[in-house]
Structure 1
Amino acid sequence: MSTETPVPTPASQPVLRAENLHRSLGEGESRVHVLRGINLQLKPAMTYSVAGPSGCGKSTMLYLLGLLDRQDKGQIWIRGELMSDASDAERTAARSRHIGFVFQFHFLLPEFSAAENVMLPMKKLGARSPEEMRSRAEYLLGLVGLGAKADRLATHLSGGEQQRVAIARSLANDPALLLADEPTGNLDVANSNMVFDLLQRLTRETGQAILMVTHNPELAERTDARLRMQDGQFVV
């Protein structure tokens, strides 16, 4: 098993900075102004929660910050690099290197083992040998308490275990930022607390910033910083 230690982003530099983000969706008379001037800075080794009513723009914001969509106006920097105006190829490369995603559903490939699922982002990036990818997958599964189940098929894992594999997968390329969209939404209370505790511990140990959208007020209260959205803006 690998004992590699990730190198955190310097505390003086935000992992992500966003200024005056605007985004509208739809066409013509049905066009809706979803985001209305979002400003945000995320620091290493910090957990942030975003709460707000359905339709307020939370998921749209995550798509912009994760470089999966483009803003109509505003700028985004990741590790000090301006990404909002970068080419599609540059954004794809930056997303693979710097950003991990955790969703409400784990999206594991059922015919693959836990280790094989964790290795998928590494294969896409193409920066490690097969032996290095396997070693890192085992290391990350050990971090989430599943080192003994590396070769178990995803379908043979419990719901909480599958979500922990998804978390390990999100860390595969040592990202500076984790974006989590309702990561405990499909879990019971015990597994929700376990997954959140895991995310918080990993943040402390590996230096990632985590921005988590959640409707769970108890989990939101436990993050380092709490943000609330309404009508496409952060509110006090």
Structure 2
Amino acid sequence: MEEKNQNSQAPVLRCSNIHKYLGKGESEVHVLRGVGLELQPGLMYSIVGPSGCGKSTLMYLLGLLDRQDDGDIWIAGQDMAKASDEVRTDVRNSSIGFVFQFHFLLAEFTALENLMLPMRKLQKLSDEQMRDRAQSLLDEVGLGNKAHRLANQLSGGEQQRVAVARALANEPAVIFADEPTGNLDVKNSTMVFDLLRKLCHEHGQAVLMVTHNQNLAKLCDVVLSMQDGEFVENSRESI
């Protein structure tokens, strides 16, 4: 079956032969067993599989939050396998956005200020430019009129929409979403997922989502099934 939104561009992320071990000696576990993957811009991917199969471990490695024991990762054309911590931090700030199950907004900051934080860290825009971009992103997620509300004055669904907008703040090449709707009711889960998919297709980021929600997973452009630290053969299924 052909992929939706077929794209001939170079992948924004690719990895090959990724291995990860946890523990030592007799308690050592081979969590990832030679995983390979390519993410194309403007497509949304989901990884599904039982708990403990390595889904989140892979995401954290690809997001440069941890290092693999073997294998290669390229992000936006840069080799991350032997890159210094400083280079990895720079790439993570400039090329990667994250949406987690919990929004991790700073309660004492407004929605607008929370969106400006990753931009301040990157230090590429003036204060006025950061405010304008943050306001524009809040408008896109339907929260433009709540820009100056404190994070703890927003509902759970609104907080997660702010988290989605924050992931886009620095115009990353790829967004990682780890159970992004796992803490929401059905209505807000659908809203946040639809928003993430819409922004992915419109802005051209690749989105990789780990989820136990089969219904949402099947709405992604590509579904990858993982079991025992490997992608199941012929699991790269277009919906």
Task: Report TM bin, short chain.
Answer: over 0.9
Partner Cα distance (1:158, 1:215) in 2? 23
Deviation at residue 11 of structure 1 after TM alignment? 4.7
1:44-83 correspondence runs (5 A) = 44-83=41-80
TM-score by length of 1: 0.95
Corresponding residue of 2:12: 15
What stretches of structure 1 move > 6 A for 4+ residues in a row?
none
1:218 aligns with 2:215: yes
C-alpha RMSD over aligned residues = 0.9
Corresponding residue of 2:31: 34
1:85-109 residue CA offsets vs partner (Å, 9 max, x unmatched)? 1110000000000000000000000
The count of residues paired between Structure 1 and Structure 2 equals: 227
Partner Cα distance (1:172, 1:32) in 2? 37
| SS across alignment from 2:71 | strand
Deviation at residue 218 of structure 1 after TM alignment? 0.3
Q: Which residue identity is paired with 1:16? A: L
1:103-135 residue CA offsets vs partner (Å, 9 max, x unmatched)? 000000000000000111011111111111111
Partner Cα distance (1:84, 1:138) in 2? 36
1:24-173 correspondence runs (5 A) = 24-173=21-170
Q: Which residue identity is paired with 1:84? A: A
Given that residues 21 and 73 in structure 1 are in contact (C-alpha distance below 8 angstroms), is that contact kept between their aligned partners in structure 2? yes
% identity of equivalent residues: 65
1:182 aligns with 2:179: yes
Partner Cα distance (2:142, 2:8) in 1? 28
1:24-68 residue CA offsets vs partner (Å, 9 max, x unmatched)? 011222111000011100000000000111111011101110011
Runs of at least 5 residues in structure 1 that lack an aligned partner in the other structure:
1-9
Deviation at residue 155 of structure 1 after TM alignment? 0.7
TM-score by length of 2: 0.93
Q: Which residue identity is paired with 1:198? A: L
Runs of at least 5 residues in structure 2 that lack an aligned partner in the other structure:
1-6
Instruction: Select 2:225's aligned residue among 225, 228, 236.
Output: 228
| SS across alignment from 2:14 | strand
Corresponding residue of 2:200: 203
Q: Which residue identity is paired with 1:101? A: F
